[in-house]
Amino acid sequence: MSNTFTAHNVRLDDGTETAPQTGGLIADTPWLRAALLVLDTVYPNGLTGLRIADLGCLEGGYSVEFARRGMDVLGIEARAGNFENCELVRRGLSLPNLRFARDDVWNIASYGSFDAVFCCGLLYHLDRPASFIRLLSAQTRKVLILNTHFATLALNPKFRLGDIVEQDGIKGRWCHEYDEGAADIEAFKWSAWGNHRAFWALHEYIPQMLRDAGFDLIFEQFDWMGDEIAGSMATGYRATEDRGMFVGIKTAER
């Protein structure tokens, strides 16, 4: 590939893969399968024609797989380099229901409402997470899927987190993203956009934020960890990364 892909391995129509170094296709990951299980459960009559937003979509891998299931997909990505990769993927596939916008996710209201919103790897890069979830609720007709890091009462030494404080009406810890006034935030491909530090909500505040934003069915999903859930939660990825997948659903018809 002419552009360097850092994470999303997508097989294009000509058989080439965007990131073969990752060792597997994003289509086969438990993270994607878990999200699709939620969508299939919420929409048992099929996903074709439903509108979904993929926020901070990075290189477009999840967007592609939603489009392959027939959904009308909008991937939003702020960084020019990542967006170029998204467009490279789009041009390499015959998916007219897939499109990308280079924009700040805070502008989601400009794109109308969605049946579902997929927010993976983004919430912990924001400085006002509760305000953002309220914004998403206003644009989400049915289901919001959040895959995110969170803060814990015991400080995780793996991350550059501060003391527990209150911000945006919730408790959590500040996380350093990059130095304030950094000249080229385009270079930080996996970092925040527009804020040099982010606020990680404490675990218990994530379902509370969903509740406060208007979702009445709220749960934490565990199958995104694959088959070894207990190991992941005890000593594996879930334990070391303080990361979870949370779902908010509006059960009343809108």
3-state SS track over the chain: CCCCCCCCCCECCCCCECCHHHCCCHHHCHHHHHHHHHHHHHCCCCCCCCEEEEECCCCCHHHHHHHHCCCEEEEEECCHHHHHHHHHHHHCCCCCCEEEEECCHHHHHHHCCEEEEEEECCHHHCCCHHHHHHHHHHHEEEEEEEEEECECCCCCCCCCEEEEEEECCEEEEEEECCCCCCCCHHHCCCCCCCCCEEEEEECCHHHHHHHHCCCCEEEEECHHHCCCHHHHHHCCHHHHHCEEEEEEECCCCC
Does residue 173 lie within any of the structural domains?
Answer: no
pTM listed for this prediction: 0.93
Q: Is residue 15 part of a domain?
A: no
* pLDDT tens for the chain, residues 1 to 254: 446 898 999 999 999 999 999 999 999 999 999 999 999 999 999 999 999 999 999 999 999 999 999 999 999 999 899 999 999 999 999 999 999 999 999 999 999 999 999 999 999 999 999 999 999 999 999 999 999 999 999 999 999 999 999 999 999 999 987 666 654 656 555 555 566 689 999 999 999 999 999 999 999 999 999 999 999 999 999 999 999 999 999 998 54
- Judge whether 87 lies within some domain: yes
Indicate whether 245 belongs to any domain. Answer: yes
For residue 115, the enclosing domain spans 20-150+202-249
Confirm whether 115 is domain-assigned.
yes
Residue 60 lies in a domain: yes
CATH number at residue 41: 3.40.50.150
**Is residue 242 assigned to a domain?**
yes
